[in-house]
């Protein structure tokens, strides 16, 4: 029997979940642990699993053309150690007393495992030899999840649980209610507004535009449609605004979260440096204003 090689040090630095792959042979069901499992398409939902040559699981799936992906929860380290520590050719793992609790499958014949975060039933649609593993692609024929379970994480050969959520770091800007409302209107419910703007500085002042019907003054900025080149969009916008500004190559990114009480709006600004070609009719403002201070 070929066993899976113990990985070298660097390879152990990936972080993954761990799944239990269930399969069936004429002798009955089998289970193995697999960290190399991932969704590779939304429509149809396709899942790729990478299984080493010589495993009982591979033989089973090649024959039956189906398998179960049971994504382990943090309570299932014993199950994973048994599924990953022995081969079905050595012992009937599923037959061991008090280790695996099975669930009846809905669309395939292979049993599924209880207590997981997800149970996914797959039909084999593709097989590809890749190095010392075989990629098996399964088309999902049934999928369910359990919100009360939390996934098991695998890193450097050890098991972990998920930590607390990380809110990506953003510059917090306290604004007036009307300013926040203005940006919320622009966002139209989007989680983040993606803006492109230009920063023109002169004598420690910043070139600003005044937004109609508001108190707001900001650097000139616009919201490009998804997929549009931001620099080209900015050029057009400046033209429309009759702002004679030369856009330079240099650009930065500012990630802000505007706050007023409990209300927030996240904004990403791609900001190009600009040179003002004409000073007439322009408004210059010091960097005192909170929004401008964070964009400059
Ligand atoms: C945490 C963990 C993750 C594993 N991930 C994989 C994997 O992604 N692919 C693989 O071929 N083997 C993986 N293994 C090893 C198999 O689970 C192991 O070789 C098992 O004995 C195969 O069982 P079988 O011969 O009954 O199919 C993993 C083992 C552990 C403990």
152, part of any domain? yes
By 3-state DSSP, what share of the chain in percent is helix, strand and coil, each rounded to 5? 20, 45, 35
Query: Is 25 or 168 the better-scoring residue by pLDDT?
Result: 25
Q: How confident is the model at residue 262 (pLDDT cuts 50, 70, 90)?
A: very high
| pLDDT exceeds cutoff 70 at 2 | no
Q: Residue 93 — left, alpha, or beta (φ > 0 → left; ψ -120 to 50 → alpha)?
A: alpha
Q: What does the alpha-carbon distance between residue 217 and residue 209 come to, in Å, rounded to a whole number?
A: 6
User: Could you give the angle at the alpha carbon of 237 between the alpha carbons of 233 and 241, nearest 5°?
Assistant: 175
Same domain for 145 and 244? no
Residue finishing a domain among 117, 141, 161: 161
Q: Cα angle vertex 250, ends 247, 256, to 5°?
A: 100
Residues 22 and 147 in one domain: yes
Ligand 1: nearest atom to the Cα of 57 = 27
Q: Do 175 and 152 reside in the same domain of the chain?
A: no
Residues 66 and 123 in one domain: yes
Sign for the pseudo-dihedral over CA of 47, 50, 54, 55: negative
For the chain, what is the mean pLDDT?
95
Contact 113, 101 (CB under 8 A): yes
Instruction: Check if the beta carbon of residue 189 is closer than 8 Å to that of residue 113.
Output: no
Instruction: Name the domain boundary from 161, 190, 212.
Output: 161
pLDDT value of position 135: 98
38-51 per-position pLDDT tens digit: 999 999 999 999 99
Beta bridge partners of 133: 52, 130
Q: Quick check: 227 pLDDT over 60?
A: yes
Tell me what pLDDT residue 88 has: 97
Q: How sure is the predictor about 140, in pLDDT bands with cuts at 50, 70 and 90?
A: very high
Q: Average of pLDDT values for 264-287?
A: 90
Ligand 1 centroid, distance to 84 Cα (angstroms): 5
Quick one: 89 and 181 in the same domain?
no
Q: What is the CATH number of the domain that holds 238?
A: 3.90.79.10
Band of residue 279 on the pLDDT scale cut at 50, 70, 90: low
Tens digits of per-residue pLDDT, 109-122?
999 999 999 999 99
For range 2-16, the mean pLDDT? 79
Domains identified in the chain, total number: 2
User: What residues does ligand 1 touch, defined as CB less than 6 Å away?
Assistant: 3-4, 18, 30, 32-36, 50-52, 55-57, 80, 83-84, 86-89, 133, 154
Please choose, from the candidates 55, 15, 24, 31, the residue with its C-alpha nearest in 3D space to the C-alpha of residue 114.
31
Chain centroid to Cα 270, Å, comes to: 22
Q: Do 262 and 212 belong together in one domain? A: yes
- Closest ligand 1 atom to 49 CA: 8
At residue 248's C-alpha, the angle toward residues 233 and 205, to 5°, is 100
CA distance 163 to 158: 15
- Is the domain of 197 the same as that of 155? no
Atom of ligand 1 nearest to the CA of 54: 25
Average pLDDT over residues 96-107: 98
Q: Kindly give the distance from the C-alpha atom of residue 134 to the centroid of ligand 1, in angstroms, as a whole number.
A: 12
- Ligand 1 atom having least distance to the Cα of 52: 11
Query: Radius of gyration over alpha carbons of the chain, in Å?
Result: 28
The pLDDT value given to residue 282: 83
What pLDDT score does 215 carry? 87
> Do residues 76 and 105 both lie within one domain?
yes
Rounded average pLDDT over 49-75: 98
Q: Which pair of structure tokens corresponds to residue 225?
A: 């449609």
Q: Which domain holds residue 280?
A: 171-295
Give the pLDDT score at 248.
95
Position 105 in a domain: yes
pLDDT band at 8 (very low <50, low <70, confident <90, very high): confident
Q: What is the pLDDT of residue 168?
A: 83
Say if residue 192 is in the same domain as residue 281.
yes
Res 40: pLDDT: 98
Is pLDDT above 60 for 1?
A: no
Indicate the SS3 state at residue 248: strand
Q: Are residues 111 and 185 in the same domain?
A: no
The structure tokens listed for 220 are 């000139």
Q: Which of 122, 139, 161 is the last residue of a domain?
A: 161
């Amino acid at each position: 029997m070929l066993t899976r090689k113990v990985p070298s040090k660097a390879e152990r630095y990936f972080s993954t979940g761990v799944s239990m792959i269930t399969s069936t042979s004429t002798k009955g069901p089998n289970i193995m642990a697999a960290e190399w499992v991932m969704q590779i398409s939304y429509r149809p939902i396709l899942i790729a699993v990478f299984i080493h040559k010589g495993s009982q699981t591979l033989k089973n799936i090649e024959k039956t053309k189906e398998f179960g992906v049971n994504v382990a929860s943090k309570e299932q380290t014993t199950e994973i150690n048994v599924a990953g520590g022995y081969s079905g050719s050595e012992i009937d793992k599923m037959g061991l007393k008090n280790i695996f609790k099975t669930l009846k499958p809905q669309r395939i014949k292979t049993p599924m495992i209880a207590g997981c975060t997800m149970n996914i039933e797959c039909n084999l649609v593709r097989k590809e030899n890749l190095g010392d593993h075989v990629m098996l692609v399964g088309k999902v024929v049934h999928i369910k999840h359990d919100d009360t379970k939390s996934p098991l994480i695998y890193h450097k050969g050890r098991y972990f649980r998920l930590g607390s959520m990380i809110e990506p770091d953003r510059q917090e800007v306290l604004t007036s209610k009307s300013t926040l409302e203005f940006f919320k209107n622009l966002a139209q419910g989007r989680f983040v507004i993606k803006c492109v703007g230009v920063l023109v500085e002169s004598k420690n002042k910043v070139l600003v535009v005044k937004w109609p019907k508001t108190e707001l003054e900001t650097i000139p900025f616009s919201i490009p449609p998804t997929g549009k080149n931001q620099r080209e969009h900015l050029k057009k916008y400046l033209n429309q605004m009759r702002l004679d500004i030369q856009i330079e190559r240099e650009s930065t990114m500012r990630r802000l979260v505007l706050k007023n009480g409990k209300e927030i709006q996240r904004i990403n600004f791609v900001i190009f440096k600009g040179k003002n070609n004409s000073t007439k009719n322009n408004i210059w403002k010091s960097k005192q204003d909170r929004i401008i201070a964070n964009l400059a």
